[in-house]
Amino acid sequence: MKTRIGLAVAGVGLGLWGLWLLLSTLDPPALIRLPIWLGGAVVADDFFLVPLTIGVGWIVARWSARPDRHRAVGAVRTTMLYVGITTLIALPLLLRQGKGVNPTVLPRDYLRDWLLLEATIIAGGVAGYLVQRFTFRRSRASSGDIGGR
Amino acid sequence: MKLPAPPTEKAFPSPLHHPRVATVVGRWLATAVTICFFTGLYSHFLQDTPSWLPIPSRPASLYRVTQGLHVLSGTVAVPLLLAKLWTVYPKLFAKLPWPPTRQALGTLLERASILVLVSAMALELFIGFLNTLQWYPWPFPFRQTHYALAWIIVGALLVHLAVKLPLIRANWRRTAEKVPDSLPPAITGLTRRGLFRTVAGAATLVGITSVGQSAPAFGPVAVLAPRKPNIGPQGLPVNRTAEAAGVTGIDENWRFMIMGPQQLSYTLDELRALPQSRSELPIACVEGWSQGARWEGVRIRDLLELCGASMQSRVRVVSMEKGGFYATSELPPDFAADPLTLLALRLNGGELALDHGFPARIIAPNRPGVLQTKWVHRLEVIS
């Protein structure tokens, strides 16, 4: 219990210090708008990104219930997740392509690079699936287990 | 028309919404946050050094490493935060206890602390990443907000740990996993280990495709990094161009001045005629990118000696830059006296490009790029 109280007291103290820093360094218009952005961050996470992940996960799980799909579902799920997270991070880069404050900021062709990255991830997913199938068949053949899934 | 009812906590069937999963992913996220916080604090103190804190000028590449880690841990925290939020998502729909009791008040406070934690962390990662692109679409100052939010995050995190400590302890080590008995889920459902692998894989993927802006070996695959360390005049990126700083070059009346015990004045040719030294030092920026370079110029300690100042002097560096927060900088005694610290006139074998600070700039070890003042025309010995 002592540890918990200590943690809580330290936490509240540091949080108040942060709040004081905000109040003392930001001017009133900025202080009024900051909570809107904080709320927006929660909405973006809890009411868009996470529900999207859960929704897509649900669709993939339903899709995989059909015969013979269960073998591919792992590769499909991982591939979609990797495509999603890299696209999320690439988004600001794609939006700002060519709008860097000078030519050394955002110097790559981010659209081409993003397409290449996603193609690589998908190719990796397909390769992973094929390797898995191949080793699965071999292990099944060597064990003599014909009837198993 | 009646709106559909919001989901309840029980509406999420996956057995992965489990405290054990939250504990493991939470540990990873906490590690990233801790690294990010301390490296960020270090960067803050380098730029705003409190008088009680002596910061050494060595190791020369320390800031390059810490700031690279800062941006890397922040970027990697994005998939980790999303995974953590996914795991505990059903909790968002837990019923608030009613009627209000003392216990209910506790629950309410706990949820308020989580709201602070999630909102601050999500916004912190968002503005931090956009800052690496130098994109500021929000109506508040970046640096002050980023710094204050960091303390709020750490505070809310400690409160969160205090609340969850029994649950964390109970799930610190592996706990029994519920295995569904029907066939399809058993095969298609993700196991905990499978989830951990996938999340770790996502974090690694994001790390590898962005770390190349600070670690040149990964440069070719840094497709998610806003910088390429070898792109720019003389193979070095630029943050603030001469045009943005309002600097157009120099005329024949240009003089470099040192205000110390003696006042000295040099033309550019006279500066070039002074004993020249070489330093291999990186430019390491707060935005996380860094690149090593070869610099040639006059040692600041030699200049201190020439004007009769002591080796423990603090030096103010004044730029020709018009206004702006970084038009002047200060070299603490350790940095001014370091033999690697130069008033650089040449870069990578050529004369300094205008965007890199022609005719002269400061280059010192273990410092953020914003303090490596460009277009220097005066040094003032302060003490």
The closest CB to that of B86, out of A18, A50, A77, belongs to A50
Per mean pLDDT, which range of A107-121, B164-178, B180-194, B356-370 is the poorest? B180-194
- Rg of the Cα atoms in chain A: 24
Which of the following CATH numbers is that of domain B235-381: 3.90.420.10, 3.40.50.10420, 3.30.70.100, 2.60.370.10? 3.90.420.10
Per mean pLDDT, which range of A22-26, A70-74, B343-347, B352-356 is the poorest? A70-74
Stated as kind and residue range, the H or E segment containing A99 is none
- The Cα-based distances of B351 to B42, B117, B234 in angstroms read 33, 49, 9
With pLDDT > 70 as the criterion, what percentage of chain B qualifies? 96
Q: Which of residues 8-47 of A touch B (CB under 8 A)?
A: 8, 10-19, 21-22, 25-26, 29-31, 33-34, 37-42, 44-46
Instruction: State whether A102 and A78 are in the same domain.
Output: yes
Nearest to B218 by CA among B201, B233, B204: B204
Phi, psi of B340 (to 5 degrees): -80, -20
Max avg pLDDT among B3-17, B93-107, B189-203: B189-203
pLDDT > 60? residue B17: yes
Interface contact B82-A44, CB threshold 8 A: no
Instruction: State whether A98 and A56 are in the same domain.
Output: no
User: Which of A37, A78, A116 is the best substitution to test chain B (most B C-beta atoms within 10 A)?
Assistant: A37
Task: Name the residue type at position B61.
Answer: S
Q: A13, A42, A65: which is the final residue of a domain? A: A65
- Classified as helix, coil or strand, B117 is helix
Instruction: State whether A113 and A132 are in the same domain.
Output: yes
- Classified as helix, coil or strand, B282 is strand
* Domain encompassing residue A112: 69-149
pLDDT at B183: 47
pLDDT tens per residue, range A95-133: 999 888 888 999 999 999 999 999 999 999 999 999 988
Chain A's closest residue to B230, CA to CA, is A104
- Asked if A115 has any chain B CB less than 8 Å from its own CB, the reply is no
* Average pLDDT value for chain B: 91
ipTM metric: 0.92
Instruction: State whether A61 and A96 are in the same domain.
Output: no
Confidence of residue B186 (pLDDT cuts 50, 70, 90): very low
- Asked if A76 has any chain B CB less than 8 Å from its own CB, the reply is no
Say whether the peptide bond before residue B229 is cis (omega within 30 degrees of 0).
no
In a domain, A55, yes or no: yes
Instruction: State whether A31 and A78 are in the same domain.
Output: no
The closest CB to that of A105, out of B82, B118, B226, belongs to B226
In a domain, A20, yes or no: no
pLDDT at B1: 59
The closest CB to that of B152, out of A18, A45, A149, belongs to A18
Instruction: State whether A52 and A109 are in the same domain.
Output: no
Chain A's closest residue to B137, CA to CA, is A37
In a domain, A19, yes or no: no
Alpha-carbon gap, residue B270 to B359, rounded angstroms: 12
Which of residues B14 and A123 earns the better pLDDT score?
A123
Residues 6+ apart with CB under 8 A from B312: B333, B337, B383
Domain count within chain A: 2
Instruction: State whether A73 and A138 are in the same domain.
Output: yes
pLDDT at B103: 81
Interface contact A26-B157, CB threshold 8 A: no
Domain residues of chain B, as ranges? 9-221, 235-381
Instruction: State whether A38 and A88 are in the same domain.
Output: no
Instruction: State whether A49 and A112 are in the same domain.
Output: no
Contact criterion met (CB below 8 Å) for B371 and B284: no
In a domain, A6, yes or no: no
Is the CA virtual torsion B172, B176, B178, B182 positive or negative? positive
Nearest to A96 by CA among B131, B211, B228: B131
CA distance B109 to chain A (A): 12
pLDDT > 60? residue A144: no
Contact criterion met (CB below 8 Å) for B256 and B268: yes
Contact criterion met (CB below 8 Å) for A61 and A112: no
Instruction: State whether A61 and A73 are in the same domain.
Output: no
Instruction: State whether A39 and A110 are in the same domain.
Output: no
Instruction: State whether A112 and A44 are in the same domain.
Output: no
In a domain, A143, yes or no: yes
Contact criterion met (CB below 8 Å) for B204 and B191: no
pLDDT at A74: 86
Contact criterion met (CB below 8 Å) for B338 and B301: yes
Alpha-carbon gap, residue A111 to A114, rounded angstroms: 5
pLDDT at B191: 85
* Average pLDDT value for chain A: 89
Is the CA virtual torsion A111, B136, B44, B335 positive or negative? positive
In a domain, A98, yes or no: yes
